[in-house]
Amino acid sequence: MMSEPLEQGEFKRGRGGRPTRGEAERRHRSLLHAATRLFLEKGWEGASVDEISRRSGVAKRFIYGRYPDKAALFVAAVERFRDDLLDEFQGFGPLPESVDDGLLTFGRRLLEIALRPEALALQRLFIAEATRFPDLAKLFLERSRRHGLDEVVKVLRGYADRGAIELGDAGMRAEQFFIIIVGLPQRIALLVGREPPAEQERRLRAAVRLFLDGCRG
């Protein structure tokens, strides 16, 4: 998903000792990677700029040259991590012809991403800090809804074009599908840990049947 942080000795400099553009981009990636990991591990209060600097191998003057404070760095790190997760919703590849099998396959892929430890950690962090960063919370919800649901709409529209389901309001149908498939398993995983695979599969099959009962053509 994100590249591993770079060591200080790997950083390349151009004329006059200044980093090249490519090197500056590499440092920035390393910085956001380290910042994300520390925020996920230790939360907002526990992650210091000093430790982020040490973990990433990026000097504090480079950090403050891009971000005025830790809050701005936090926002950038969370947005980058969220975008990396959402990007994985795209390009799943062909699904089975049968709408029942196809939505089961697609649902398993959604759950695989949504229930990853790092994805759950991001949810916990965001819930904990939403009141501190209300504008970021609104942006997160807006972009997640728009970007994350695009792939769901595409999948549902493909089956609607074959006459397998009636789509109606595509955006609303996509939200309903995502919530019914991911909502409760993610809530359970956040609170007490992931369900056993057999129970997760049983819940997924019931959710797909319920969804299809409401929109078959």
Between 3 and 48, where is the model more confident?
48
The whole-model pTM stands at 0.73
In order of start, what are the domains of the chain with their CATH numbers? 8-73 (1.10.10.60), 88-215 (1.10.357.10)
Give dist(CA 100, CA 72) in Å, integer: 45
Mean pLDDT over residues 211-217, rounded?
A: 88
The confidence score (pLDDT) of residue 85 equals: 76
pLDDT of residue 150: 82
* pLDDT value for 52: 93
Distances in Å between the Cα of 66 and the Cα atoms of 14, 63, 72 are 19, 5, 9
Identify whether the C-beta of residue 73 lies closer than 8 Å to the C-beta of residue 49.
yes
- The answer to whether 77 touches 36, Cβ cutoff 8 Å, is yes
Q: What is the pLDDT of residues 108-117, one digit of tens each?
A: 999 998 899 9
pLDDT digits (tens, 9 = 90+) for 127-175: 887 787 787 777 667 766 666 688 889 999 999 999 999 998 999 999 9
pLDDT of residue 12: 47
What type of residue is 106? F
Mean pLDDT confidence for 83-108: 84
91 band by pLDDT with thresholds 50, 70 and 90: low
d(C-alpha 56, C-alpha 48), whole Å: 12
What is the mean predicted confidence (pLDDT) over 183-206?
A: 95
Looking at residue 144, what is its pLDDT? 63
Return the SS3 of 216.
strand
Predicted pLDDT at 101: 96
Answer yes or no: is pLDDT of 93 > 90.
no
